[in-house]
Structure 1
């Protein structure tokens, strides 16, 4: 009797795994997994040339993440599918072997393990899935999850088009859309998840389905903010596109001491100004920059269409900022890719994000967050002991016009309605160089967020919505969508992943069950 060589054995078993019906694959979750050397070897046999192992140049490149808290991990291997069929085969193999895995799109999440695995897992890196095509009627752009937003905006700038997508150049397409997606164009069109015509999705079984308002509408709803980690790997987003030229953009930096003047202007913009000018967009940032004298306030302001007659002509909605003395004041008219590169954030640092949502009806509440933030920032700076650290307090508006726009096509999963608004996302962000203080930074940020939430609750101005794309894993993101939506999300997950495979195996980001 001639025994098959190891390579032939892997090919035979791999062929069985890929051809087995869904029920057979599901049954393996209740039995001992096949006796194979490891999942990475099986994957490399099934997908030759698409698996990278540690101690190689390509592995080092793939293990580069925006936050060093993520790249500090390292999976057993990366698998880099080129096609939807490759993704399907990859999922069939990993689920049949009961192999934990993570999925990387742009790798722009802050916390460790959000889109990377440790040595006990596999990371599926989607960077080769870079479809980018414009429909003949120019109303739909099909985008692969391996794209960064700079790829999308560069192509669409040339075509005179835009989509409701990310503001920062290097952010990945998939994570931003599946978590919600704040955009320059949200005032008139809602968030990115509200502007998807169709999702192509690989389910845990390996089956490829589409999700749109007319096809699998329950899955379509769930993917509008419910995170792909609970339902499947999205391999194509068909996005609503529209005619769009350059944007008007003003960036202003003010002395931090003027926060008491600027916050009421921002608050009034959120409540009254932005709903009257749906093409306008802004946010408030407070941070500490030693080169600028300490605490400063940044206000970035954008307007899409129609453009002012010249860059120096300030749209009426933003004119309340004009009399305030600035440290820096720059106004340009430029295409989206130019602006998104201007506000991009560098790699090479540890990153942290946390957030909550409060009512926008009280400027006093927002102002009272500032001394809490300043005390916390000084504590972090002292702990950093001369190493680079930048703590941020960020206010991102959700005015009533955005809440209204979120209701299209049956609404998204976020649980927000016009009656909730207007709201402000209060975001804490930190960028720092010394990894030895990681845990200290995380705990201090959690403490500050607790104080912010307690103050908002005391004044009956707390909403509690948590924006997934700015959250830490300790936050109950999906629970913040409300009991009804959480139950509905779980029902959809059970329908499309009846064995709960993704809940058990897909590590990272925000799950329905832990």
Structure 2
């Protein structure tokens, strides 16, 4: 292990100012050489497997599949230090990954094995309101719960994640669905500036109208091929009180039919009639659900109203609740309430897979029935699992609200809506079950597409990046001209493809 060499080097008091790329240990892998250089230069923020800071950054993920044991972890708190690391990684040719909040369940999207270096955003914890409170500076090491907590009692909020445990940089660079999105658009539509390190090692700040406006546009949904983020400047919105909660409806066939009807109707009318309203339905089954598939919904209203007309289909007498927490609160209180749920699944493995349809009641039924019919066929041998289908109704208004500040790479046409985006997820316990989960998700995807085609039901090409599974053709669903533009921007800021080839995780526009 290189750590012993590094310790020896540090104990010999090699001055950081005297370090060069050439005087690190020879004969070791690119990752080990990079770790040696970083540890001798930044001993306090470079850690190895026997150190507590390494253990936290290597294990604190949404999915245990992301625990990959990198050669070392580098956790800077300043952009210039991250820039030095990028230059060292380039020089030695070491593979690397960068982690934000760790929510993406695809292992190599936010970690790397011992062949590479993990760059952790955990040191970038800045939270600061502008003097007029119109924007909030947010470091990528925060989670949304920390952001909402910082804004508590200010009367302000931001267009951030629906759950407090979700991280920030990957969420925004994938677009980002918020409770507030039906009024304000993507989370990435509500950014005033982005600061980050580009592949040359230069620290730049991009805005919609400065010399880096093309980079700003690319970072609004183009993924991780362009820069390593060190700060977002987010536009604040007024939200002193919200009404939000989870409602459970039971397991009957009548519940299922009315739940599907409510999704369809909200896609057509709810998001158009009430821009303050959001609903996130989900249906779950598995070893933790002995009574069968359970139907729920997260309901949201931007204000104080437990009975907005647009959400009437989600309440009694149409859908009778078996439990209900929908009540006036704050985003701080809501985001804190979900922490216990995260703790309960911490250490499990998770997979996402996404499908898209237009708002079509037949398509809803086909996807629902196929998903739950295939669960026992493919997952019954798993000792513990939870399979969840989350059909998210996305209105035309969502697309309209996103067309601000120069637009985004997805460029979804309001006239092409409304859509329904289906997140299929599976929680399970052990690595050996991965093949069963993969077979299940692939079988559902293939069967759904075959059945929709047989019914003459067309699908939009767009797939939401943040819910996609590894290998799904995300960029193929973007407008072709925007993909060409993204490739040009990638080449402009990273001609050597450092963030494509040396940082292999995530969706790379160069591969589209």
List alignment gaps of at least 5 residues for structure 1.
18-31
* Residue 93 (structure 1) aligned with residue 88 (structure 2): yes
Checking the alignment, whether the CA contact within 8 Å between 2:69 and 2:112 is kept in structure 1 is: yes
Aligned mates of 1:213, 1:437 — CA distance in 2: 45
Checking the alignment, whether the CA contact within 8 Å between 1:394 and 1:428 is kept in structure 2 is: yes
Checking the alignment, whether the CA contact within 8 Å between 1:259 and 1:367 is kept in structure 2 is: no
- Residue 38 of structure 1 is matched in structure 2 by 33
* Residue 259 (structure 1) aligned with residue 256 (structure 2): yes
- Residue 23 of structure 1 is matched in structure 2 by none
List alignment gaps of at least 5 residues for structure 2.
1-7
**Structure 2 counterpart SS, 1:358:** strand
Checking the alignment, whether the CA contact within 8 Å between 1:230 and 1:511 is kept in structure 2 is: yes
Is 289-298 or 122-131 further displaced after alignment? 289-298
Aligned mates of 1:88, 1:291 — CA distance in 2: 48
Residue in structure 2 matching 1:224, options 208, 220, 227: 220
Checking the alignment, whether the CA contact within 8 Å between 1:99 and 1:121 is kept in structure 2 is: yes
Aligned mates of 1:432, 1:33 — CA distance in 2: 37
- Residue 25 of structure 1 is matched in structure 2 by none
Q: Give the alignment of 1:474-489 within 5 angstroms.
A: 474-489=471-486
Checking the alignment, whether the CA contact within 8 Å between 2:31 and 2:94 is kept in structure 1 is: no
- Residue 144 of structure 2 is matched in structure 1 by 149
Checking the alignment, whether the CA contact within 8 Å between 2:21 and 2:37 is kept in structure 1 is: no
Aligned mates of 1:162, 1:243 — CA distance in 2: 6
Aligned mates of 1:166, 1:247 — CA distance in 2: 14
Checking the alignment, whether the CA contact within 8 Å between 2:299 and 2:326 is kept in structure 1 is: no
Per-residue CA distance 1:457-480 (angstroms, 9 max, x = gap): 442330021111111121121222
**Shift of residue 254, structure 1, vs aligned partner:** 1.8
Aligned mates of 1:158, 1:394 — CA distance in 2: 32
**Structure 2 counterpart SS, 1:230:** coil
Distance 1:347 1:15, change over 3 A: same
Per-residue CA distance 1:144-196 (angstroms, 9 max, x = gap): 00001111000112322100001111111111111111001001100111101
Aligned mates of 2:40, 2:109 — CA distance in 1: 27
Aligned mates of 2:408, 2:114 — CA distance in 1: 36
* Residue 320 (structure 1) aligned with residue 313 (structure 2): yes
Aligned mates of 2:20, 2:29 — CA distance in 1: 13
- Residue 285 of structure 2 is matched in structure 1 by 288
- Residue 352 of structure 1 is matched in structure 2 by 351
Aligned mates of 2:432, 2:15 — CA distance in 1: 43
* Residue 203 (structure 1) aligned with residue 207 (structure 2): no
Is 332-341 or 130-139 further displaced after alignment? 332-341
* TM-score, structure 2 normalization: 0.90
**Shift of residue 123, structure 1, vs aligned partner:** 0.3
Checking the alignment, whether the CA contact within 8 Å between 1:231 and 1:502 is kept in structure 2 is: yes
**Structure 1 counterpart SS, 2:435:** helix
* TM-score, structure 1 normalization: 0.90
Residue in structure 1 matching 2:70, options 64, 71, 75: 75
**Structure 2 counterpart SS, 1:513:** helix
- Residue 301 of structure 2 is matched in structure 1 by 303
Distance 1:35 1:295, change over 3 A: closer
Checking the alignment, whether the CA contact within 8 Å between 1:33 and 1:97 is kept in structure 2 is: no
Checking the alignment, whether the CA contact within 8 Å between 1:198 and 1:220 is kept in structure 2 is: yes
Over aligned residues, Cα RMSD in angstroms?
2.2
Instruction: Report how many residues are paired.
Output: 487
- Residue 120 of structure 2 is matched in structure 1 by 125
**Shift of residue 200, structure 1, vs aligned partner:** 0.4
Aligned mates of 1:54, 1:265 — CA distance in 2: 50
- Residue 464 of structure 1 is matched in structure 2 by 461
**Structure 1 counterpart SS, 2:246:** strand
Checking the alignment, whether the CA contact within 8 Å between 2:96 and 2:119 is kept in structure 1 is: yes
Checking the alignment, whether the CA contact within 8 Å between 1:14 and 1:93 is kept in structure 2 is: no
- Residue 413 of structure 1 is matched in structure 2 by 409
**Shift of residue 250, structure 1, vs aligned partner:** 3.9
Checking the alignment, whether the CA contact within 8 Å between 1:138 and 1:242 is kept in structure 2 is: no
- Residue 29 of structure 1 is matched in structure 2 by none
